[in-house]
Every structure is written in C-alpha cells, then in structure tokens.
Amino acid sequence: MKYVLPVLILLLFLYAFLFKKVKLYDAFTEGAGGAIPLAVKLFPFLAAIFLLTELFEASGLSKAVSDLLSPVFGIFGIPKELTKLVLVKPFSGSGSLALVNEIFTEYGVDSYLARCACVIYGCSETVFYIAAVYFAGTNFRHLLKPIVISLAATFASAVFACFICLVL
C-alpha cells in the first residue's frame, strides 16, 4: 500500500514522456521558474496573516473576544468552550488544531465538546489565509464581500456542527 502513490507518479511521468512527448525536465523547470515570482508576490500577504494570528493569540485578545462573544454564540447552540475555536479557525489552522487538542485533553475525546470541535475543525476553513493566497494572485481588490460571506458560512457550519453532534 505504501508504494501506490510513488508508482502512480512514476506511471504518470512515463505516460507524459512516452505518449505525450513531454520533456519532463524542461516542463518542471519552467513550472518552478513561474512559482518563484508568485511566492515573492504572496509573501507579504502570508507574513501579515501569520503575524496578526500570533498577535491575536499572544496579546490575549482572542480570550477577551471569546469571553465577550460566548453568550451570543450560546444563543446559537455553540458551547462557550468552543467559542475560541470558532474565532481562531478562520485565522489559523494550526492554532485551531492546538485548541482541539486542548479540548481533547480537558474534556476527553468522546465528549460532546470534542465531537463538536472535530466537526467544526473539519468543516471550516482558514478564511483569511485562503483569501490572502488566492486574492494576492489576482488583481481582485474587493475583499469585503467574499470574506464576510466566508465568515458567515464558517459560523453557520459551527452552528450546524453543534446541532448535528447534539442530535447524533
């Protein structure tokens, strides 16, 4: 089973070389050369996202905002223990994974909170990271609408995740 992916990649290379007559090394270097300017263009956006994520967590602002919004989230069925996860997930995948691990440690992996945390983690995306990567590669400058829609969808997925975990 561990050889399936390498064999598939090798077969793909052989197919491209033998049947499509693609010069593999030239195609690779051309693609890699095009990636460098894109990486340079994306770097400031990614640096800003990572810096803001760390500042949000290290400053204690995430806890303060979490404490402030937990009653509102509770109205929608999101437990107060998961408020910080819902707030951090749009910014940081690794930060939210660390929060899921904390929930596992504190409440157990089979608890309602752990199940909700897993579903929230799995059904939402790091909105600001994705926006930085995809929109930096284009000239699209009207970011407010897509980000608001993405955040609303993320919140709706968290509400629905908690509901489904409660029912099941």
Residue 97 identity: L
CB 81 within 8 A of CB 94: no
Q: What is the DSSP letter of 111?
A: S
What CA–CA distance (Å, rounded) separates 33 from 42?
A: 15
Q: Indicate the average pLDDT of the chain.
A: 90
Tokens standing for 22? 């693609």
pTM of whole model > 0.75?
no
What's the confidence (pLDDT) of residue 6? 93
Tokens standing for 131? 């926006």
State the chain's maximal CA–CA distance in angstroms: 63
* 31 pLDDT more than 80: yes
According to the per-residue pLDDT averaged within each range, which of 14-18, 122-126, 132-136, 162-166 is highest? 162-166
Residue 48 identity: A
CB 79 within 8 A of CB 40: no
